[in-house]
C-alpha cells in the first residue's frame, strides 16, 4: 500500500493564476479533494470566480464525471499554508521567480509531512536548481501541464538530478489516473521535451522566413496541413515508421547539414517583441490581435480543444494496435 | 484570359504509382479532365484498379462533388505521351531518379505546347536541377502533394532559380481552386518547407532519445498531446502569437544554444535501417509493424484523415478572424 493509492488523497495547488486554477479543475475532475492555496493578497477572490468559470467549461465539455456541485464540495480555497497538512502531493504554480519559489517551498515543507511529494509546474527553471531549495530533494520533481489542464492529455514529468526515479514513475502512474498521457524526462535538460522539440521548429521556421524563402502564413499553412494532418494521431517517430524508415535515413543525411544551427534570436522576432515592449499598440498592426480578434480566437480555440480531445481519444494508440512500440522503431 | 482559366483544362499526370494515382483522384475531384500516363509496362492495369479504389474512398469521404461515374468519364488512362497534347499542366510523379526524369521530361516536352507548365512532385531533387532538363525552364516548378492527395489540403509550390514567379503564383491560385491551401517556396532550398521543419524535429528528438533523456514513445506522446492539440488549428507562428511573444523571446535565447546541431545521422536510426536492410524480419521486432498491425494502422489513418480534414475545415483561419496576419506577427 502506497501513501498515494487512491484519488481520494487531497492534492495541494499553490498559486492560483491561469495555470494553477486550470490544474485545480483538472484534479477535481479526477476525483481528488483539492486544497487550493492563493499566496498573494486578493488572489483568492479572483481565483474563486475563475475556477467556477472553468468548472462550467469543463462540465460543458463533459470532463466532470461527477458534476460541478461535487467538485465545488471537494475544493478548499485557502490562504494559509497549514491547510496543506494532509496533502501528499503539492503542486507549485507560482511565477517563474526562483526567490519567490524558495519562500513558497519553505512554507510548503513546514506544513506537509516528510513523505509528501512537492512538484513544480515550471517550464523555465531547471528542476535540479529548484530541488536544492527543499528539505527532501529526492521527493521533488517537475509536473508540467498544458493549458487548459482539464482538457489536455499532456503531462510532462521531469526528474532533477536527485529525484527518486521510482517516485517519478509513481507520478507518471498518478498522471495516468488523471486521464493524462504523461511523458517522463529522466534528465533535467533545459526546455524539457516539448519546448525543445518546438523550438527546433521555431529556429528553422524563423530562419527560413528571414531568408525570404517563405512567408509567415505559408510556414503555418505547411504545418497545419502537413504535420497537422497526422501529428495528433502519431507523433513524429511513429509517423516516420508509418511512412517507411529507409527514405528518412537518406533525407536525414541530406538535410541535417542544411538546417539552421543559429544560437542568436532572429532579428525578425527581436524586432516584433521590442516594438510591443515600446508600447506601439495599434500602429503597423504590431499587436498580435485586435480585442475582438483575440476574443474570437480564444473562443474558437476553446471549441477546437474539445474537438481535438475527442478525436485524439478515438485514435489512442492502444486502440489501433498492440505492438510493443519500444521494440519496433 | 489566361490559358488555364478553368478547371475544364485537361491536366496530365505522368507516373501512376501510389502518389500519382492519388493525385489523379484529387484532380478528378476538382473537376479536371485528367490524362493519366503510365510510363512503365504493366503499370496501366495496376493503376486502373488502384484509382478505382481511391475514387471509392474519396467518394465515401464526400470528396467527389460529382460522383464516381463522372470522374471515371473524365479520365483517360494512357501509355503514350502524345495523349498529353492538350494538357496545359503536366505533373511528373515518377521515381526519384534524375536520369529517368530527364527521359520523361523529353517525352512530355515533345508532346505538349510551349506554353504548358511542367511540374515535378519530387521531394528529393532540387527544382533548379530538374529545370535544366526542360526546354522552357521558366515554366517548370515543383508541385509537391501530401498523401492521400484528395484528402489533404497541403500543396507546396517550389520555384527553381529560373521559374517565372508569376507562373508560380498562378499555380498557387490553381491549387486553391483544387481545395488546397498552397504554400509558396520562393527559393529552391533542400527539403522544401515541410521537410526542413520536420527534420528539425527529428534531429532534436533522435538526439534526446539517444542521450537517454526520453523514450521513443514519450517523444511521440509529447508531440501528440501538446503540439497535436493545436497544430491543426494554428501552425506554429500563429501559436507563438496566441500564447504571447515576449516569453518566446526569452526561451529562444535560452534554448537555441542547447538544441542539437548534429549533421550526422544518429546511430539509433542508422542501426534500425541497416537491420531492416539485412532482412532481419520478425526478430527483435525490427520491422515497424506486423502485417495485421500495418493493416490496422492504415485503416485507422484513413479514417483519421477524414476526421482531421473535416475538423481543419471548421477552423479555417478566415473563419476565426480576418486580421492581416503578415502585419501582425
**Is-contact B176 B170, C-beta < 8 A?**
no
B199: nearest CB among A205, A259, A286: A259
The rounded radius of gyration (Å) of the Cα atoms in chain B is: 22
Using alpha carbons, list the distances in angstroms from residue B217 to A183, A184, B272.
Answer: 8, 10, 16
Could you tell me which residues are beta bridge partners of residue B119? B91, B141
Tens of pLDDT along A56-113? Answer: 999 998 899 889 999 999 999 999 999 999 999 999 999 999 999 999 999 999 999 9
Q: Which of B146, B160, B198, B253 to mutate to test the interface with A (most CBs of A within 10 A)?
A: B198
Among residues A3, A165, A20, A147, the alpha carbon closest in space to that of A78 is found at A20
**What residues pair up with B155 in beta bridges, in sequence order?**
B145, B182
**What are φ and ψ of residue A24, in 5° steps?**
-55, -45
Q: In which element (H, E) is residue B22 found?
A: helix B18-29
What percent of chain A is modeled with pLDDT above 90? Answer: 57
Q: List A residues 86-125 in contact with B (Cβ-Cβ < 8 A).
A: 124
A270 contacts B124? CB cut-off 8 A: no
Q: Do B296 and A321 touch (CB under 8 A)?
A: yes
Using the 8-state DSSP alphabet, how is residue B206 labeled? Answer: H
Q: Where are the domains of chain A?
A: 11-190, 199-319
Q: ipTM score here?
A: 0.83
| B35 and B111 Cβ atoms separated by less than 8 Å | no
Q: Do A198 and B270 touch (CB under 8 A)?
A: no
A131 versus B292: which is more confidently predicted?
A: A131
Residues of A in contact with B216 (CB under 8 A): 237, 325-326, 329
Give contacts of B241 with chain A, Cβ < 8 Å.
288-289
Closest chain A CA to residue B239: A220
- Nearest-neighbour CA in chain B from A242: distance (Å): 8
CATH of domain A199-319: 1.10.1040.10
C-alpha cell at A87: 496533502
Sign of CA dihedral B166, B167, B168, B170: positive
Q: Which residue of A has its CA nearest to B307?
A: A311
Q: Where would I find the beta strands (DSSP E) of chain A?
A: 11-14, 34-37, 75-78, 89-92, 117-120, 140-145, 154-159, 181-185
Q: Which residues pair with B76 in a beta bridge?
A: B35
**Interface contact flag, A249 B269, Cβ < 8 Å:** yes
Strand order in the sheet with B154-159: B75-78, B34-37, B11-14, B89-92, B117-120, B140-145, B154-159, B181-185
Give the pLDDT confidence of B129-163 residue by residue, as tens digits: 999 999 999 999 999 998 889 988 999 999 999 99
pLDDT-wise least confident of A231-245, B139-153, B246-260, B308-322: B308-322
pLDDT tens digit sequence for B285-329 = 334 567 777 778 778 888 888 888 888 888 876 666 443 343 344
Q: By the CB < 8 Å criterion, does A78 face chain B?
A: no
Assess whether the region B11-190 and the region B196-288 belong to the same CATH fold.
Answer: no
Give the residue-averaged pLDDT of A133-149. Answer: 95
Chain B segment 181-200 residues within 8 A of A by beta carbon are 181-187, 189-191, 193-200
Highest CATH level, class, for B196-288: mainly alpha
Burial class (CB in 10 A: 0-12, 13-18, 19+), A7: middle
CATH number listed for the domain at residues A11-190: 3.40.50.720
Amino acid at each position: 500500500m502506497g501513501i498515494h493509492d487512491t484519488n481520494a488523497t487531497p492534492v495541494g495547488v499553490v498559486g492560483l493564476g491561469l495555470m494553477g486554477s486550470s490544474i485545480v479543475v483538472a484534479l477535481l475532475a479526477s476525483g481528488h479533494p483539492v486544497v487550493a492555496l492563493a499566496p498573494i493578497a486578493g488572489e483568492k477572490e479572483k481565483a474563486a470566480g475563475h475556477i467556477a468559470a472553468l468548472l462550467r467549461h469543463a462540465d460543458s465539455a463533459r470532463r466532470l464525471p461527477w458534476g460541478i456541485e461535487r467538485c465545488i464540495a471537494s475544493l478548499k480555497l485557502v490562504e494559509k499554508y497549514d491547510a496543506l497538512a494532509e496533502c501528499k502531493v503539492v503542486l507549485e504554480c507560482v511565477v517563474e521567480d526562483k526567490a519567490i519559489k524558495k519562500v513558497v517551498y519553505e512554507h510548503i515543507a513546514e506544513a506537509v509531512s516528510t513523505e509528501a511529494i512537492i512538484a513544480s509546474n515550471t517550464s523555465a527553471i531547471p528542476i535540479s536548481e529548484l530541488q536544492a531549495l527543499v528539505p527532501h530533494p529526492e521527493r521533488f520533481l517537475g509536473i508540467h501541464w498544458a493549458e487548459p489542464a482539464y482538457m489536455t492529455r499532456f503531462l510532462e514529468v521531469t526528474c532533477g538530478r536527485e529525484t527518486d526515479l521510482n517516485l517519478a514513475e509513481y507520478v507518471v502512474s498518478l498522471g495516468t489516473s488523471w486521464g493524462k498521457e504523461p511523458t517522463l524526462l529522466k534528465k533535467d535538460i533545459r526546455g524539457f521535451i516539448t519546448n525543445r522539440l518546438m523550438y527546433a521548429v521555431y529556429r528553422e521556421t524563423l530562419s527560413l522566413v528571414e531568408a525570404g524563402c517563405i512567408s509567415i502564413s505559408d510556414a503555418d499553412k505547411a504545418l497545419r496541413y502537413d504535420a497537422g494532418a497526422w501529428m495528433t494521431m502519431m507523433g513524429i517517430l511513429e509517423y516516420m515508421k508509418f511512412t517507411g524508415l529507409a527514405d528518412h535515413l537518406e533525407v536525414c543525411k541530406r538535410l541535417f547539414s542544411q538546417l539552421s544551427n543559429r544560437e542568436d534570436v532572429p532579428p525578425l522576432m527581436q524586432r516584433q517583441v521590442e516594438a510591443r515592449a515600446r508600447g506601439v499598440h495599434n500602429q503597423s498592426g504590431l499587436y498580435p490581435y485586435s480585442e475582438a480578434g483575440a476574443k474570437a480566437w480564444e473562443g474558437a480555440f476553446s471549441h477546437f480543444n474539445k474537438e481535438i480531445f475527442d478525436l485524439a481519444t478515438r485514435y489512442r494508440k492502444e486502440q489501433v494496435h498492440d505492438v510493443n512500440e519500444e521494440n519496433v522503431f
